[in-house]
A = this chain, B = another copy of it.
């Protein structure tokens, strides 16, 4: 994507000092700027870079007075940080939604419909009876099963797999390799030592403004629905088992796993590589430290826990610090025992 310095100045309401026809294709930190990049100067700690940067243009405060010669084009604004953030968001939105049209070959089943400004990449697959909203971007090699609904402005990156009967909201993002609606892991042990598959006939329901990371898996419910509420953000390589429910605006970091039928509250923060057992409930605003193993429900809102098995965060830190001294403690106990034995009997 290419914009000119003039177009960018117009977008952020700034004034160009230099050339307004320079081509800009990237955003960069001022210390990493190269030709074709635009950067910004807000914290004056970085001012020295202004005189040496290779960036084609830099956004600066209109009141800023350079101490040396500036070779790069400047764009003068009221607040460089805010302007750069605006530019970043506009650029990202533009990139995200710039693909439109239908590449061939791609597949769409009978009785499925798509809204305006759709992008259907080559080798993407949409089953039968699907309802796909407007501005939805379905990248190459993505799969959407039968009877799936997807709201407006949702982006489905290459190779995402959404099983039949899933219901997906608006303004969601699914990264490559994420799998939505695979069978829950349910097997009934038989007398001969084998396992019989418990049929998984439920689905997955995902709200609006949900982000799903690369290679994350959300299993369908055994019956009913696995539910991911509005605003949930899931990082990469996460496991969400059957019949789990995740409350609004909860954030989960990479490689964590939630076992079947557990209900997670709203606005929880779960760090990376956490494991949570099945059939428990976590109160709203629970926070869980990295690599924790959570074995029982948390009933008080705002509780912080850590460890495997997990308990109160501050207590875990204390126990953990004593853990390092265990060999010393053991020695001190031995010494005490020695001294007690050597006490003269009275």
A positions within 8 Å CB-CB of B: 26-29, 32, 88-89, 91-92, 95, 103, 105, 107, 121-123, 125, 139-141, 143, 145, 157-159, 161, 163, 173, 175-177, 179, 182-183, 185, 187, 193-195, 197, 199-201, 209, 211, 213-215, 217, 219, 223-224, 231, 233, 235-237, 239, 241, 248-249, 251, 253-255, 257, 259, 266-267, 272-273, 275, 277, 290-291, 293, 308-309, 311, 315, 318-320, 322-327, 329-330, 332-333, 336-337, 339-340, 343-344, 346
Contacts and interface: CB of A to CB of B under 8 A. Distances in A.
B343 A199 contact: no
B318 A290 contact: no
A92 B201 contact: yes
A323 B330 CA distance: 10
Contacts of A125: 121-123, 140-141, 158
Nearest to A315: B324
B257 A255 contact: yes
Given A182-B176, A290-B293, A200 B92 contact: yes
Report how many copies the assembly holds.
3
Contact of A197 (B122, B197, B211, B254): B211
Given A199-B89, A273-B273, A185 B213 contact: yes
Contact of A176 (B163, B185, B235, B254): B163
B182 A179 contact: no
A30 to B, nearest CB: 11
A28 B329 CA distance: 53
B254 A255 contact: no
Given A195-B251, A273-B257, A340-B339, A235 B329 contact: no
A236 B326 contact: no
A329 to B, nearest CB: 6
Contact of A217 (B158, B187, B236): B236
A92 B198 CA distance: 9
B215 A215 contact: yes
26 contacts: A26-B201, A32-B224, A88-B199, A105-B123, A107-B140, A141-B141, A145-B158, A159-B179, A175-B183, A177-B179, A182-B213, A185-B213, A194-B231, A214-B219, A217-B236, A217-B254, A236-B239, A239-B255, A291-B293, A308-B308, A322-B326, A322-B329, A322-B330, A323-B323, A325-B330, A332-B333
